[in-house]
Amino acid sequence: MAEPVVFPFTSIVGQDDMKRGLLLNVIDPGIGGVLIKGEKGTAKSTAVRSLDRVLPMHEAVKGCPFRCQHGRPERYCPYCRERMERGEALEPEMVRMKVVDLPLSATEDRVSGTLDIERVLKAGEKRFEPGVLAAANGNILYIDEVNLLDDHLVDLILDSAAMGVNYVEREGVSFTHPARFVLVGTMNPEEGDLRPQLLDRFGLSVDVRGERDPKLRAEVVRRRVAFDSDPEAYAAKCQKELDALAERLEGAIALHPSVEAGDDAVDMVVSVMAHFGVDGHRADITLLKAAKANAALEGRSKVDKGDIRRTAELVLSHRLKRRPFEERALDREELEACLGNLRRRSRSPP
Ligand SMILES: [Zn+2]
């Protein structure tokens, strides 16, 4: 059966922060995922699912059930290591990154996979039945309504995302495989919030609102109606735009390792975080990573103030205490003033 046609990513009107948050994580999965919060009907799921069409290719070990990253033996799964020790040459295979869904009904066994203990005891052979975390390796793991998922499962997934491995143990027997993925969660805050301890373990967060500008609203409706009346024809018209975005992402990924963040960029990051009273270093590191990925997305090899301006809210919004009656956790004018003061304070350019 053919896959259903999804509304094209490039046709989503506005919602720049949401789109940027997703793209930055594709460029650097080390940013730590993105949590997208918004009411029903704000294109959250559409954006995540439609990302599939523009995701990049990468080199995996051919025949590996976890699609281990080829050429990184220190991260290989037990099967690849075994093959390597036998002196087998591991061939590369190009695979495309994809969006893997985690159903809310998933059990812990389904998420982490299971060890066949009988087999271990009888044949002395480790047999692992891969779960969702195995499928997620090298991909995007998508949890819709993440606030409704069992806390202990969210914990387990966040741990795995942070360590880049999935560790399963049963009756003293263990199995470890790589589980490097970008965690994307969407939720409607009206249906309950996520525990604060889980919130700030997402690298970025975005609050999505429906467009208020009548012109943009009209454009949202026009595009949606055109798509619904003939999805295939509509998607065909968007091919070029989608190909261009896929190419841009590929270029950004290639450029990313050489993007420089100078002392001035680090100073800006630290000052912004100190100004907004964010504790710990995790947020600083995340902001610097997000700013680097943003520079790569814009095709630049050096982080500038604009990169920090564009990513600060994504990093800060779920880490700041929201004051009552404030729509945004982060006051944009305050951020602007903070970045402006820095310029005046910094040494004059050579
Ligand atoms: Zn492997």
Mean pLDDT, 10 residues at a time, the chain of 350 residues: 83 93 96 93 90 94 95 94 94 96 93 84 78 96 93 91 92 90 94 83 91 90 95 95 97 97 92 86 94 98 95 91 60 82 54
Q: Which among 225, 181, 235 is positioned nearest to 3, based on CA atoms? A: 235
Task: Report CA(242)–ligand 1 centroid distance (Å).
Answer: 31
The alpha carbon torsion through 292, 294, 300, 304 (nearest 10 deg) reads: -70
Give 52's DSSP letter: G
pLDDT at 324: 53
- What separation in Å is there between the alpha carbon of 259 and the centre of ligand 1? 30
pTM over 0.75: yes
pLDDT at residue number 134: 97
C-alpha 62 to ligand 1 mean position (Å)? 9
Catalytic residue among 75, 83, 282, 300: 282
Compute the distance from residue 84 Cα to the ligand 1 centre, in Å.
10
Residue 348 is predicted with a pLDDT of 47
DSSP bridge partners of 98: none
CA 8, chain centre distance (Å): 18
Say if residues 259 and 307 touch (Cβ distance below 8 Å).
no
Assess whether 323 carries a catalytic annotation. Answer: no
Distance 64 CA to ligand 1 centre (A): 5
